[in-house]
Amino acid sequence: MGNPLTRRFAVAALMLLAATARAAPAPPLQVAALPADAGALPAAAVVAGAYADAFRPQAHALLRGADQHAVWYRVQLGADWSAASAPLLVVSGAVRTGLVAYLPPDYAPRAVTPYDAGLDPRFSRHALVFELPRDLRAGQPVYLAVGAPAQSQPLHVRVADYDSYQAEDLDHVRISAAISSAQGAMLAVILCFWIVLRDRVFLYFLGYAGFQVIYQMAVSGELYALPGAGVLAPLGYHPGQFAALLSALLSINFIVDFADLRRSVPWMARLLDWARWPYAALAVALWLPPLKPDAWLPNSANALLAASALLVLLAAWRAWRRGNRQAGFFLISWLPLLALTVLRVLQLIIGLPLPAWLAYGFPFSMAYAAVVITVGLADRTLQARRERDQAHRLAEFDPLTGALNRRAVLTRLRVAYADARQSRRPLGLLFLDLDHFKRINDSHGHAAGDDCLIAVAGAIQAELRELDWLGRYGGEEFLVVLPDAAALNARIVAERIRLRATELRVAAADEELRLTVSIGIALLDNATPTPEALIEHADIALYRAKAQGRNRVVQYLPGELIDAATLARQG
């Protein structure tokens, strides 16, 4: 065994042998049942073999309960147990009924449910597991009493060896943990969204997805393994059913708000609003024993869920066809979930066994939906931000020229004025006026005038730095705020703007218009007590530019006063 190659072959042989041992099929299982109409029978007599001849063989290993009394099953191996590890009796399926096992050699009753706090911690709760004697013989009976209430979904019984089942159970735990982790991460992300944005749609998502997780944990029994959850054991499967009903109710609230169905498909949104109330009624009825909800509520809830799921799907599809982007996200996320939901509901209503692909596909689709919906919520937030920015832009910018409006440019000027005063840095202001604008409007129409304003605003903007601000002060007048611009810098910028304006050519209906602008410059100094005074100084300089023949740049001189009546602008 010292040769490395020999060791490799030995290890491979041992692994193959172990895999073969784990994969070895269990002996054939024989399942028989007493007729459901046999009535309530004494357990001691059944276990003692008094009704041995009354058991009828079944062609399948499925167990069902009855409404009024327990149904008895007998499970036997077709051959002696010969596997290396101990045999385990495994009862799987969504167990919500009572189950009592009578196991050899003592056949003492063992009443168990997935909701018990003291189940064997070696195994997860997705099945009820009983350890059988290692020397279990062929034909040695195991008795199971499946009690009331009746369970529409059949339970599956089998005998597996300890090692193989533990490996299988570990795979189940890994898959469940991965799915739960994804859902938990998405819930944490959405909680952060809600804390920041305070949008109720995030609360609806947290509610429906959170209750869905609780439902999954209740169905698997893992909810009852949490610390302190033993108080829930007497409630049986009701906490899970309650969580499922609340999840369905909140999911309707979520999709109606998330996809804005009231705007896109108002009449279908009203139907969905009405569809919430049966869930609320069933959630209340679940806790009222006189109504005997165990007998009728599960199938009623499943039928309601199937109907409302199809209605939601149709509403979202119609909304998406009408251009609703969020409805598209919903369809992408929920189509697998809705398809599996309908299949799951049909499986429960018809009473078929639960296949593994559906058992895992259903929670996986919920995790997938949570991921995609989280992306959709992020996209919805981004859209809201864009709309807010657009509204902000409309509130601050002149819709015609794209320059800041009067209120916004004055706000920028006040900020720049305060900063310049505090830092003792220069600040320049240009007051511009489009020459003969009234004549253009009167001769060529307001459309031509608008084209001229757009062209001039573009020419001004082309000569400014990123830190400069252009605003439309009113009519054909513009303000340019020049932070950190001394006299020479302000004059250079003003001259460049004036020259660029003279190069503009604007097409009118009957001719090509040539444009000029007059510009007044004002600079911040000790004689400028307020931003409004700076504007007044630039306006005085603009008056002088107009009086001197237009199409020129004039700088305000400290102490300069102009008779506005004498130098009134002429358009």
CA distance 130 to 237: 21
Based on the domain organization, do 368 and 427 belong to the same domain?
no
Residues 377 and 412 in one domain: no
Beta-bridge partners for 101: 110, 144
- pTM of the full structure: 0.60
- Residues 336, 381: one domain? yes
C-alpha–C-alpha distance, residues 566 and 552, integer Å:
19
Q: What is the CATH number of the domain that holds 421?
A: 3.30.70.270
Distance CA 491, CA 481 (A): 13
Domain co-membership, 133 together with 273: no
Q: How far is CA 227 from CA 62, 84, 119, 223, 232, in A?
A: 33, 35, 14, 9, 11
90 assigned to some structural domain? yes
Q: Does the pLDDT at position 72 exceed 50?
A: yes
Q: Is residue 290 part of a domain?
A: yes
Q: What is the pLDDT of residue 432?
A: 95
- Could you tell me the pLDDT band of residue 198, with boundaries at 50, 70 and 90? confident
Together in a domain, 283 and 375: yes
Residue 174 placed within a domain: no
* pLDDT grade for 127, boundaries at 50, 70 and 90: confident
Q: Average pLDDT, stretch 384-411?
A: 81
Whether 183 contacts 170, CB under 8 Å:
no
| Predicted pLDDT at 459 | 93
**Cα 180 to chain centroid, rounded:** 15
- The reply to whether 381 and 309 lie within a common domain is yes
In the block, which residue shows the tokens 């005063």? Answer: 421
Structure tokens at 362: 């259903």
Diameter of the chain measured on Cα atoms:
126
* Residue 432 covered by a domain: yes
Condensed to tens digits (0 to 9), the pLDDT of residues 441-472 reads 888 888 899 999 999 999 999 999 889 999 99
CA separation for the pair 103, 112 (Å, rounded): 13
Inter-CA distances, 199 with 15, 30, 252, 491, Å: 56, 58, 16, 51
- Domain check: are 239 and 308 in the same one? yes
Give the pLDDT of residue 493.
94
Whether 549 maps to a domain, the answer reads yes
Per-chain mean pLDDT for the chain: 83
Q: At what angle do helices 356-396 and 162-197 cross, to 10 degrees?
A: 10
Between residues 548 and 298, the one the model is more confident about = 548
**CA dist., res. 316 & res. 331, Å (int):** 7
Pick the more confident residue, 346 or 15: 346
Q: Are residues 350 and 414 in the same domain?
A: no
How many domains does one find in the chain?
3
CATH number at residue 149: 2.60.40.2380
Cβ atoms of 329 and 320 within 8 Å: the answer is no
Q: Identify whether 4 is preceded by a cis peptide bond (ω within 30 of 0).
A: no
Tell me how far apart the alpha carbons of residues 385 and 197 are, in angstroms, rounded to a whole number.
11
Structure tokens at 528: 């400028």
What is the per-residue DSSP string for 60-96? Answer: S-EE---SSS-EEEEEEESS----SSPEEEEEES---
Whose CA is closest to 476, among 550, 533, 392, 555?
Answer: 550
Q: Which of 145-159, 199-213, 253-267, 470-484 has the lowest mean pLDDT?
A: 145-159
Q: Mark whether 221 and 355 lie in a shared domain.
A: yes
Q: Is residue 517 part of a domain?
A: yes
Question: Residue 161: which of 246, 90, 83 has the closest Cα?
Answer: 83
How many CB atoms sit inside 10 A of residue 129's CB? 22
Share of residues in the chain with pLDDT > 90 (%): 40
Domain boundary residue, one of 357, 390, 423: 390
Residue 48 included in any domain = yes
Whether 177 has a pLDDT exceeding 60, the answer reads yes
Give the pLDDT confidence score for residue 17 in this predicted structure: 37
Q: What's at 452, amino acid-wise?
A: C
Query: Residues 487, 523: one domain?
Result: yes
Pairwise CA distance, residues 117 & 112, whole Å: 10
Distance of CA 508 to the CA centre of its chain: 54
Are 325 and 431 contained in the same domain? Answer: no
Looking at the fold, whether 495 and 440 belong to one and the same domain comes out as yes
- The domain containing residue 253 runs over which residues? 199-390
Whether residue 184 lies inside any domain: the answer is no
Q: Is the pLDDT of residue 395 over 70?
A: yes
Q: What digits encode the pLDDT tens for the residues 360-384?
A: 776 777 777 777 777 777 777 777 6
CA gap 479, 414 in Å, rounded: 13
* Confidence (pLDDT) at 202: 82
Number of H helices, E strands in the chain: 15, 17
